[in-house]
Chains A and B, each alone.
Chain A
Amino acid sequence: MSDTTSAPSGWTEAERLAALRDYDILDTEPERAFDDIVDLIATLFDAPIAVVNLIDEGRQWFKAEKGLGVRETPLESSFCAHAILEADRMVVPDATQDTRFTCNPLVTDAPGLRFYAGQLLKSAEGLPLGTLCVLDTRARPEGPTELQLKALEVLADQVMTQLNLRRALKHQQRSEAEFRAIADSMPQMVWSTLPDGHHDYYNARWYEFTGVPPGSTDGEGWNDMFHPEDQERAWERWRHSLATGDPYEIEYRLRRHDGVYCWTLGRAMPVRDAEGRIVRWFGTCTDIDDLKRMDQAKELLSQELSHRIKNIFAVVSALVALSARQHPEARPFAQSLRTRINALARAHEFVRPHSDVSRPTMGDMTLHGFLAALFTPYTDEQGQPRVRITGDDAAFDDQAATSVALLFHELATNAAKYGALSVEGGYVDVETDHSQAGLYRLAWRERQGPAIDGVPQKSGFGSSLATLSVEGQLAGKLTRNWNPDGLEVLVELPATALSRRNAARVVTKA
């Protein structure tokens, strides 16, 4: 009779075999950890035979055996194959009395097995792999004791623990091998460090690029590979990342095997454990030298172009002045044309591509910064600006610059001729307002100027130019209020008008 404790659950033989092979245990050498277990369980059962038995395809293979003298036998005569089909545990007190085994050659012929007790070995995922079992040629109608069964269960667990440990180790080795294979096949240099920043791994690409002997840049040796001018900066960033856990990112020059320093992009991220502690840093270096050089060349070209454009403004301005010298009657005309050209040149200066060197020396690259520069000529005796700018600042780009420059140049020129800037003590308040979504409002309010007695009879080209700049170019609306205490000009612009390129960028992102 058999003693069963639970029923098998749903799995296929193919899945079971795959799970068994994943342990990579079949056909390995005997190991003491398993030998000790079969010795112990045989002693506890006072039985001549005990095995750690794994059921493979067509055979059963013994990781450890006592009293059998073979490492494997065919599956047809297996007791354990039955155990696997049956339950977690199978006990056969007398095989001659059990219909499943009465025809088994191991029972009918040598060695004449009678008693069997087997505990299932189950993978962590619940698939049966084999058994830890004890066999005797003597029938035991009384069956095993409680203690013996308990020992069988505990030792079977121990067998699985050993197997699972080996599998985990193997998986780790495999994933490490896979990581190295991936890392070595990447076009980037890959490196890794301990939590304290000690470098202990570089991929093949690193050694290929730098040409240094393997291991020579472990520890802190990495820093020497970078350009002397970049070393301190790299150290500083790296220390910051190590201290804070912030991702590391830097552009620096790495020495190639031929001694040439190449621009690389270095990045690193920390790997954290379940408690959030950093256990490792993984980093990459990407060769960005070509990109950087192209960037520099492009930058140089655009600066050169920009400089030439600025120079053309100067030449045109000089040409206007020179031409007017032949015609004294045209001088006022030439002068006003010239100041308009100069305002445009100033706008260009503000929005053209800049390097650190060419950046305007005064103010920020914003609307307020630009206006402040445009109104530089209008200062009082104390050197204080007579056009006072308040409110929300905004970025603006080259597409808006020309129109903004012309608008405010005309307003200021007009104020200097007829309005608040034409008299001592007069000033202008410019207020910019971005509080309403989608709208950018500019207000020009002249104060302490000559009294105004209504709308002027005729408007000059300057006012047309201002209106054209706002309504024609910036898609906005310009209103003039001829208040008795001074001209008020209100401009409403779509918020995107000042920086269409930025606006387009934002839209694309969204």
Chain B
Amino acid sequence: MPARILIVEDEALVAMELRFVLEDLGHEVVGTAADSQTALNLAKETDVDLALVDIHLSDGPTGVSIGRELATDHKVAVLFMTANPGMVRDGVAGTIGVLSKPTDEHIVQNAVSYALGVKNGAPTNMAPPQLQLFNQAGA
């Protein structure tokens, strides 16, 4: 089932590659945001099923609060993708987990499919081992 996905990433090349991978899978990328303002505006203007959120953005390490807000206020499924997964070691309320960058398209495919499954009530596949899931109770 195609999904509407928001990419929050300040490295243009990484964002572009991610967009291609997601579009190959048949998903629609509703936008790419490099900072928190743009990300939150996009989430207000349009329906988003899933957001892939980097933590260090052009306006600082704002990814954590973006992820939390998207998950709790906009009911968006949120996966963090960061070179520094320790930043969210204790989990972030409402979000699913974190992928350590760099990653590759197979891992992204599996993680996205798992996250959309979670959002729709039942994951259709196992989470890829590279995806660290947050303990929802703990977060």
Contact = CB atoms under 8 A, between A and B. Distances in A.
A55 B120 CA distance: 108
B129 A314 contact: no
A341 B102 CA distance: 8
Contact of A310 (B101, B103, B130): B101
B11 A318 contact: yes
Contact of B104 (A338, A354, A358, A360): A338
A376 interface: yes
Contacts of A377: 107, 128-130
B85 A361 contact: yes
A317 B83 contact: no
B83 A310 contact: yes
Contacts of A362: 132
B105 interface: yes
Contacts of A358: 84, 86-87
Contact of A314 (B102, B107, B128): B102
Given A322-B20, A325-B20, A358-B86, A339 B104 contact: yes
Contacts of A345: 83, 101-102
A318 B16 contact: yes
A357 B87 contact: yes
A361 B82 CA distance: 12
A468 to B, nearest CB: 23
B86 A322 contact: no
B64 to A, nearest CB: 11
Which of A314, A325, A354 lies at the interface centre, i.e. has the most chain B CB atoms within 10 A of its CB?
A314
Contact of A376 (B17, B86, B105, B129): B129
Interface residues of A, number: 32
Interface in B2-36: 11, 13-14, 16-18, 20-21
A372 B102 CA distance: 17
Nearest to B10: A311
Q: How large is the interface on B (under 10, 10 to 19, 20 to 34, 35 or more residues)?
A: 20 to 34
Contacts of B85: 360-361
Given A325-B20, A342-B104, A318 B86 contact: no
Contacts of B87: 357-358
A325 B16 CA distance: 12
B14 A315 contact: yes
Given A307-B83, A358-B84, A321 B11 contact: no
Interface in B65-120: 83-87, 89, 98, 100-105, 107
A379 B56 CA distance: 30
B130 A360 contact: no
A345 B13 CA distance: 17
A311 B11 contact: yes
A282 interface: no
A359 interface: yes
Contacts of B11: 311, 314-315, 318
A318 B104 CA distance: 9
Nearest to B85: A361
Contacts of B107: 377
A330 to B, nearest CB: 15
B137 interface: no
B103 A315 contact: no
Given A342-B102, A345-B101, A358-B87, 6 more contacts: A310-B83, A311-B11, A321-B17, A321-B105, A359-B86, A376-B129
Interface of B: 11, 13-14, 16-18, 20-21, 56, 83-87, 89, 98, 100-105, 107, 126, 128-130, 132
Interface of A: 307, 310-311, 313-319, 321-322, 325, 335, 338-339, 341-342, 345-346, 349, 354, 357-362, 376-377, 379, 383
8 contacts: A311-B56, A313-B101, A318-B11, A318-B102, A338-B104, A357-B84, A357-B86, A376-B130
